[in-house]
């Protein structure tokens, strides 16, 4: 299978001379869900933010398909087909649900009616609440809107930063169910998660990141079944909850 | 009493237009631009130059007024030239100064730099135009009596003042439609709410910043021209309005366009109504009093929404 996204020896950080990523590499196959796991401070969120153009890259390359997007500004990444859902503050609270979705479509000059119809079919709750301000939505609904906002521009690769954070187990299950449905529509997904067990349950591949570099890469099922991996990197908190 | 209300609303409408620029810049760039007052002054003087140019082209020595106003079409055309030129000054200032400082992400440095920019712009203007007050028109206007003298002291308004009030209302309504109905306007609001999310939504934040400077400076220029039309043009025109502009923006809640409008009207009314209480010499202090009161009672302002 071809690579949807390739990251090679990436070094990146928020402050000059203080890299968080120290040569991280990643090879994401088209159509896969890849879970990025690891302890706190491993650089998981920084990795996808750097890919999205939100954290300065000091070394290494990022390719989306065959295209080098290492130096592409964040707003142009969306046009290239890279979607990103931040962990928090991931909707425009003072805009309506409809405006949150319309804005991205209008900026990219996409066929509005078709795209919105597809999105509302996938997220029927949002269709019912399209006139509400995004800030009035519940945590779970906000997360759905955040995913829908990134999805409305038809990304090839969708990156999500801890989409389960702050959600109840029932809502986490619902969000992850949607991610599986999105994957089935042909979108490649990169998922940064603290809830490792839940992420591994839907992922095809997994990468365990430690100190800014990948420590383990493999099939999600294999990593989930490996007791040593579970003890060292997945933690007790993730065990057996989902 | 009614006269004071009318005067307050007219000066308030000028303050409101200027305060919109202050609040938009603050919401988007996260710093208080103390150079904003100079956009009002430069806008007013550039309109004076454009007006002079029109008159020179037509060979006229003064503008023929459109009855019942003191000004004619050349001033309206001059407004159309001065507003974009003021926007050009704002964009140049951003390119030369603020954009470079923004990269370091220190708001205090930007605020101090805006003080410096204000001084430079004011002195440059004084160098070109001199310090003597100027007028767009020396036509004498007869104020129209709207309310008889025996009803709460009566109310008289000049046609120019009515024009300023009406055009300020139209401008604010157009801006409201722009911000709520157009993609660019929504992109501006989205960027002010959350610049990072705006970027990953595909919004070119740098372009939105440029648009904000353009909108803010053009509104500032219109406010300056209105201030010049209803009073006179002086190099301190914008500087003298700076405190009321900030009082209006803070009172309305930083980032809220309608807040700036309401804040502007309240500050204008407060200044006007203070005259019989504290005397005309202290009316300017009312803006300061408004800032103190609002910071003590409701520091986020009347209409501010919590930042994301």
CA distances from B306 to A135, B176, B301, B303 (A): 10, 20, 11, 10
Query: What's the pLDDT at A40?
Result: 86
Phi and psi angles of residue A195, each rounded to the nearest 5 degrees, phi first = -80, 80
Do the beta carbons of residue A109 and residue B211 sit within 8 Å?
no
- Quote the minimal CA–CA distance from A89 to chain B in Å: 6
SS3 sequence, A123-135?
A: CHHHHHCCCCEHH
Which residues of A are less than 8 Å from B208 in CB distance?
Answer: none
What phi-psi label fits residue A109: left (phi over 0), alpha (psi between -120 and 50 degrees) or beta?
Answer: left
CB contact under 8 A, A104 and B308: no
Tell me the pLDDT tens digit for each residue of B222-249.
999 999 988 899 999 999 999 999 999 9
- Name, in order, each residue with C-beta under 8 angstroms of B67's C-beta and a sequence gap of 6 or more: none
Q: Considering chain B, what percentage of its residues have pLDDT values greater than 90?
A: 58
For B29-65, the DSSP string reads H-S--TTHHHHHHHHHHHHHHHHHHHHHHHT-SSPPP
So what's the pLDDT on residue A111? 75
Q: Which of residues 197-236 of B touch A (CB under 8 A)?
A: 197-205
d(C-alpha B116, C-alpha B234), whole Å:
19
Q: How confident is the model at residue A51 (pLDDT cuts 50, 70, 90)?
A: very high
B196/A86 touch (CB, cutoff 8 Å), yes or no:
yes
CB atoms A54 and B201 under 8 Å:
no
**Cβ B188 vs Cβ B94: under 8 Å:** no
Q: Name the strand (E) or helix (H) holding A188.
A: strand A188-192
Give the separation between CA A9 and CA B218, rounded to whole angstroms: 48
Average pLDDT over residues A16-45: 92
Contact B42, B216 (CB under 8 A): no
d(CA B286, CA B1): 17
pLDDT at A239: 39
Find the residue in A nearest to B304 (Cα). Answer: A94
Mean pLDDT of B268-282: 86
Say what the pLDDT of residue A241 is. Answer: 36
What residues contact B28, with CB distance under 8 A and at least 6 apart?
B188, B191, B192, B195, B208, B209, B212
Mutate to test the interface with B, among A93, A96, A136 (most CBs of B within 10 A): A93
The predicted pLDDT at position A238 comes to 41
Round to whole Å and give the CA distance between B101 and B106: 7
pLDDT band at B113 (very low <50, low <70, confident <90, very high): very high
Asked if A94's CB is within 8 angstroms of B189's CB, the reply is yes
Whether the predicted pLDDT of B196 surpasses 70: yes
Tokens of B113: 């730099």
Residues from chain A contacting residue B197 (CB–CB below 8 Å)? 86, 89-92
Confidence grade of residue A104 (pLDDT, cut at 50, 70, 90): confident
Chain A residues whose CB is inside 8 A of the B187 CB are: 103, 107
Pick from A74, A89, A95: CB nearest B186 = A95
Q: What average pLDDT does this structure show over A37-59?
A: 93
Nearest to B201 among A53, A94, A149 (CB): A149
Per-residue pLDDT at B299? 85
For residue A133 the two structure tokens come to 């301000």
pLDDT digits (tens, 9 = 90+) for A67-94: 999 999 999 999 999 999 999 899 999 9
pLDDT in tens, A154-171: 899 999 999 988 888 888
Which DSSP helix (H) or strand (E) runs through A47? helix A44-51
Q: Which residues sit opposite A15 in a β-bridge? A: A18
Q: What is the pLDDT of residues A136-155, one digit of tens each?
A: 998 888 999 999 999 998 89
Contacting residues of A for B194, CB less than 8 Å apart: 89, 92
Q: What is the pLDDT of residues A6-26, one digit of tens each?
A: 999 999 998 888 889 999 999
Give the global pTM: 0.86
A91–chain B Cβ distance below 8 A for any pair: yes
Per-residue pLDDT, averaged over A91-118, amounts to 88
The residue ranking higher by pLDDT, B152 or B206, is B206
A149 vs B contacts (CB less than 8 Å): 201
- B79-111 pLDDT, tens digit per residue, is 999 999 999 999 999 999 999 998 877 889 999
Question: Which residues does A154 contact at the CB level (< 8 Å), separation at least 6?
Answer: A81, A110, A115
Least confident of A189-193, A214-218, B145-149: B145-149
Instruction: Tell me the mean pLDDT in the region A101-115.
Output: 85
Mean pLDDT of chain B: 89
* Radius of gyration of chain B, Cα coordinates, nearest whole angstrom: 19
CA dihedral sign of residues A61, A63, A68, A73: negative
Q: Which residues of A touch B308 (CB under 8 A)?
A: 89, 92-93
Q: Which of A97-101, A119-123, B163-167 has the highest mean pLDDT?
A: A97-101
CA within 13 Å, CB half, B300: 5
- Under a CB-based contact definition with an 8 Å cutoff, are residues A55 and A13 in contact? yes
Q: Do residue A149 and residue B308 have CB atoms under 8 angstroms apart? A: no
Of the candidates B183, B200, B308, the beta carbon closest to that of A78 is on: B200
Helices (H), A81-232: 97-107, 112-122, 124-128, 139-151, 169-184, 196-202, 220-225, 227-229
Tokens of B37: 């007052």
Alpha-helix runs per DSSP H in chain B:
2-29, 36-58, 73-93, 99-102, 107-129, 159-181, 183-193, 195-200, 205-230, 237-252, 257-278, 285-297
Q: What is the CA angle A213-A218-A223, rounded to 5?
A: 100
On the 0-12 / 13-18 / 19+ scale of CB atoms within 10 A, B142 is exposed
Answer for the pair B274, B293: CB distance below 8 angstroms, yes or no: no
pLDDT of residue A172: 87
Tokens representing B182 are 């157009």
Token pair of B175 as six digits: 């801006």
- Give the orientation angle of helix A112-122 with respect to helix A139-151, to 10 degrees: 140
Average pLDDT over residues B57-67: 79
| Cα nearest neighbour of A103 on chain B | B183
Residue B232 CA to residue B252 CA, distance in Å, equals 28
Q: In chain A, what residues touch B203 (CB-CB under 8 Å)?
A: 75, 103, 107
Residues of chain A with pLDDT > 70, as a percent, come to 95
> How much is the pLDDT for B306?
57
Please report, to the nearest 10 degrees, the dihedral formed by the alpha carbons of residues A128, A132, A133, A134 taken in order: -20
Q: What is the pLDDT of residue A231?
A: 74
Contact assignment for B201 to A79 by CB distance below 8 Å? no
- Look at residue B77 and tell me whether its pLDDT is greater than 60: yes
Contact B204 A75 (CB under 8 A): yes
Q: How high is the pLDDT of residue A235?
A: 60
List Cα–Cα distances, A115 to A149, A154, B204, in angstroms.
Answer: 11, 8, 21
* pLDDT value at B305 more than 70: no
Q: Does A104 touch chain B (CB under 8 A)?
A: yes
What CA–CA distance (Å, rounded) separates A67 from A64? 5
Residue A236's pLDDT band (boundaries 50, 70, 90)? Answer: very low
> What residues contact residue B183 under an 8 Å CB cut-off, 6+ apart?
A103, A106, A107
Could A74 and B190 be called an inter-chain contact, meaning their C-beta atoms sit closer than 8 Å? no
- Position A242 scores a pLDDT of 35
Report the chain B residue with the minimal C-alpha distance to residue A149.
B201
Tokens of B219: 């509104």
**B197 to A153: CB separation less than 8 angstroms, yes or no:** no
Select from B257, B146, B56 the least CA-distant residue to A94. B257
Q: Please answer yes or no on whether B200 and A79 come within 8 Å at the CB atom.
A: no
Phi, psi of A142, deg, nearest 5: -60, -45
pLDDT of residue B3: 86
Contact A79 B202 (CB under 8 A): yes
Tell me which of B180 and B280 has the higher pLDDT: B180
The reply to whether A80 touches chain B by the CB within 8 Å rule is no
A233, pLDDT greater than 80: no
Residues of chain A contacting residue B202, judged by C-beta atoms under 8 Å apart: 75, 78-79, 104, 107-108, 153
Q: pLDDT band for B308, please (50, 70, 90 cuts).
A: low
- Mean pLDDT (whole number) for A200-205: 93
pLDDT band at residue A234 using 50, 70 and 90 as cut-offs:
low
Residues of A in contact with B204 (CB under 8 A): 73, 75
B87–A contact, CB cutoff 8 A: no
Q: What was the ipTM of the complex prediction?
A: 0.88
CA–CA min distance A162, chain B (Å)? 15
Task: Note whether B105 contacts A: Cβ–Cβ < 8 A.
Answer: no
């Amino acid at each position: 299978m071809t690579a949807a996204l390739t990251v090679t020896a990436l070094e990146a950080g928020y402050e000059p001379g203080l890299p968080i990523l120290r040569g991280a590499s990643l090879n994401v196959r088209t159509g896969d869900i890849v879970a990025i796991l690891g302890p706190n401070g491993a650089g998981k969120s920084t990795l996808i933010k750097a890919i999205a153009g939100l954290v300065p890259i000091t070394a290494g390359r990022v390719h989306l398909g065959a295209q080098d997007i290492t130096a592409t500004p964040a707003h142009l990444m969306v046009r290239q087909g890279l979607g990103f859902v931040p962990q928090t503050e991931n909707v425009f609270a003072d805009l309506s649900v409809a405006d949150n979705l319309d804005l991205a479509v209008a900026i990219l000059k996409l066929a509005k009616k078709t795209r919105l119809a597809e999105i509302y079919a996938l997220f029927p709750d949002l269709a019912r609440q399209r006139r509400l301000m995004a800030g009035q939505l519940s945590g779970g609904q906000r997360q759905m809107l955040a995913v829908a906002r990134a999805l409305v521009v038809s990304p090839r690769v969708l990156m999500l930063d801890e989409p389960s954070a702050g959600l109840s187990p029932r809502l986490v299950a619902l969000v992850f169910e949607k991610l599986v449905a999105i994957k089935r529509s042909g979108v490649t997904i990169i998922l940064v998660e603290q809830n490792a067990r839940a992420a591994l349950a839907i992922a095809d591949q997994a990468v365990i990141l430690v100190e800014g570099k990948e420590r383990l890469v493999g099939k999600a099922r294999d990593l989930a079944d490996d007791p040593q991996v579970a003890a060292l990197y997945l933690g007790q908190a993730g065990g057996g909850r989902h | 009493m009614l006269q004071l209300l009318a005067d307050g609303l007219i000066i308030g409408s000028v303050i409101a237009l200027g305060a919109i620029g202050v609040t938009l810049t603050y919401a988007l760039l996260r710093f208080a631009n103390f150079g904003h007052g100079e956009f009002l002054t430069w806008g007013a003087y550039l309109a004076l130059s454009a007006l002079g140019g029109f008159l020179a082209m037509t060979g006229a020595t003064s503008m023929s007024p459109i009855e019942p106003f003191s000004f004619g079409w050349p001033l309206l055309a001059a407004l159309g030239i001065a507003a974009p030129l003021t926007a050009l000054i704002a964009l140049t200032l951003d390119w030369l100064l603020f954009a470079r400082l923004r990269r370091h992400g220190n708001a205090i440095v930007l605020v101090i730099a805006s003080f410096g920019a204000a001084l430079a712009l004011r002195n440059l203007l004084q160098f070109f135009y001199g310090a003597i007050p100027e007028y767009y028109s020396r036509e004498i206007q007869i104020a129209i009596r709207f309310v008889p003298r025996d009803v709460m002291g009566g109310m008289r308004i000049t046609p120019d003042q009515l024009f300023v009030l009406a055009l300020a209302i139209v401008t604010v309504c157009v801006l409201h439609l722009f911000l709520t109905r157009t993609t660019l306007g929504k992109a501006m609001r989205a960027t002010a709410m959350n610049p990072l999310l705006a970027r990953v939504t595909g919004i070119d934040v740098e372009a939105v910043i440029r648009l904000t400077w353009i909108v803010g400076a053009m509104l500032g220029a219109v406010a300056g021209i209105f201030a010049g039309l209803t009073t006179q043009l002086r190099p301190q025109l914008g500087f003298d309005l700076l405190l009321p502009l900030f009082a209006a923006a803070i009172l309305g809640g930083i980032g809220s366009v309608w807040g700036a409008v309401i804040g502007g009207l309240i500050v204008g009314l407060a200044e006007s109504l203070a005259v019989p209480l504290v005397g005309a010499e202290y009316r300017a202090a009312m803006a300061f009093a408004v800032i103190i009161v609002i910071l003590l009672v409701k520091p986020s302002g009347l209409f501010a929404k919590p930042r994301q």
